[in-house]
Amino acid sequence: MNGSLEPEDRILEEPTITEQLSKLIDTLGWQVDDDVIVEVGGTVVSGIHQGENYNKKWATPYGVRKYNKDAFIIISNNSRRDLTKSQPMDREHKPQHPYTPPSLNISEEKKTK
């Protein structure tokens, strides 16, 4: 048989979510001590105070979180984020094609009328 399998490779069953995440984290080069944040997107929090006789089937009580059917997980590595602000140019800005506003671009025909 040509080729070889690593001990963690599976050929008959799908890898678990944990195994998929571990492989992806290794691919991205993240480290154990990185500042990683896990958040959930696709949620709604009710911000309306309901009266006593509200329709419980359609209205949600105030402050209750509901997860949409297409909710998703966000995993972000804050240790790898570039939070430096953009810096001004270290030279004078001289574009090759200077901009002239349309209001100043009046054709000769309009000037004579």
Mean pLDDT (10-residue bins), the chain, 113 residues: 64 85 93 94 87 81 90 94 83 80 60 56
pLDDT score recorded for residue 72: 96
pLDDT score recorded for residue 54: 81
pTM of the model as a whole: 0.53
pLDDT score recorded for residue 113: 56
Of 31, 39, 40, 36, which is closest to residue 77 (Cα–Cα)? 36
pLDDT score recorded for residue 3: 64
* Residue 46 dihedral angles phi and psi, to the nearest 5°: -65, 130
